[in-house]
Amino acid sequence: MTVNFYAIKDEVRILGFDDGPFKRGDKNTLVVGAVYRGGRWMDGVMSTRVSVDGLDSSEKLIKLVADRRFMDVRVVMVDGIAFGGFNIVDINRVYEETGVPVIAVTRHMPDFKKIRAALKHLPDWQKRWTLIKKAGLPKPVETKPGKRIHIQNAGISPPDAESIVKISSTRSLLPEPLRMAHLIARGIVSGQSRGNA
Amino acid sequence: MTVNFYAIKDEVRILGFDDGPFKRGDKNTLVVGAVYRGGRWMDGVMSTRVSVDGLDSSEKLIKLVADRRFMDVRVVMVDGIAFGGFNIVDINRVYEETGVPVIAVTRHMPDFKKIRAALKHLPDWQKRWTLIKKAGLPKPVETKPGKRIHIQNAGISPPDAESIVKISSTRSLLPEPLRMAHLIARGIVSGQSRGNA
Tell me, what's the pLDDT at A39? 80
Q: Is residue B98 part of a domain?
A: yes
For residue range A98-130, what is the model confidence (pLDDT) as tens digits?
999 999 999 999 999 999 999 999 999 999 999
Which stretch of A171-185, B35-49, B93-107 has the lowest confidence by average pLDDT?
A: B35-49
Strand order in the sheet with A75-79: A139-144, A147-154, A102-106, A75-79, A13-19, A28-37, A41-51, B192-194
Q: Is residue A8 part of a domain?
A: no
Tell me, what's the pLDDT at B196? 59
Quote the DSSP letter at residue B51: E
Is residue A162 within 8 Å of A150, Cβ to Cβ? no
For residue range A133-142, what is the model confidence (pLDDT) as tens digits?
999 999 999 9
Q: Is residue A7 part of a domain?
A: no
Strand pairing category for A75-79 and A102-106: parallel
For residue range A59-96, what is the model confidence (pLDDT) as tens digits?
999 999 998 778 889 999 999 999 999 999 999 999 99
| B66 in reach of chain A (CB within 8 A) | no
% of chain B at pLDDT higher than 90: 84
The reported pTM is 0.92
Domain range for residue A177? 13-189
Q: How far is the CA of B83 from the CAs of A31, A129, B50, B117, in angstroms?
A: 25, 47, 8, 18
Answer with the residue of higher pLDDT: B67 or A63: A63
Q: Is residue B2 part of a domain?
A: no
Of the candidates A158, A191, A56, which has an alpha carbon nearest to the alpha carbon of residue B60?
A191
CATH number (domain holding residue A26): 3.30.2170.10
Tell me, what's the pLDDT at B194? 84
Answer with the residue of higher pLDDT: B2 or B175: B175
H-only helix segments in B11-122: 57-65, 91-98, 112-119
Is residue A22 within 8 Å of A180, Cβ to Cβ? no
Q: Which residues of B, range 11-50, sit inside 8 Å of A by Cβ? A: 30, 32-33, 35, 41-48
Tell me, what's the pLDDT at B197? 42
Is residue A130 within 8 Å of A116, Cβ to Cβ? no
Whether residue B36 is predicted with pLDDT greater than 60 in this model: the reply is yes
Nearest CA in chain A to B192: A46
Tell me, what's the pLDDT at B17? 98
The mean pLDDT value for B37-41 works out to 85
Of B44, B171, B187, the CB nearest to A193: B44
Of B35, B70, B195, the CB nearest to A43: B195
Is residue B58 within 8 Å of B89, Cβ to Cβ? yes
**Angstrom distance (rounded) from CA A118 to CA A95:** 27
Total tally of structural domains belonging to chain B:
1
**Count of Cβ atoms closer than 10 Å to residue B121 Cβ:** 9
Is residue B129 within 8 Å of B114, Cβ to Cβ? no
Rounded to the nearest integer, the mean pLDDT of chain B is 94
Count how many pairs of residues, chain A against chain B, have C-beta atoms within 8 Å.
Answer: 88
Could B69 and A191 be called an inter-chain contact, meaning their C-beta atoms sit closer than 8 Å? Answer: no
ipTM of the complex: 0.88
Which among B17, B47, B48 is the top mutation candidate for probing chain A, defined by the most A β-carbons within 10 Å of its own β-carbon? B47
Q: Is residue B195 part of a domain?
A: no
Q: Chain A closest CA to B50's CA: distance in Å?
A: 13
Q: Is residue A4 part of a domain?
A: no
Q: Is residue A61 part of a domain?
A: yes
**Angstrom distance (rounded) from CA A170 to CA B107:** 31
Tell me, what's the pLDDT at A196? 59
Is residue A3 within 8 Å of A23, Cβ to Cβ? no
| B131 in reach of chain A (CB within 8 A) | no
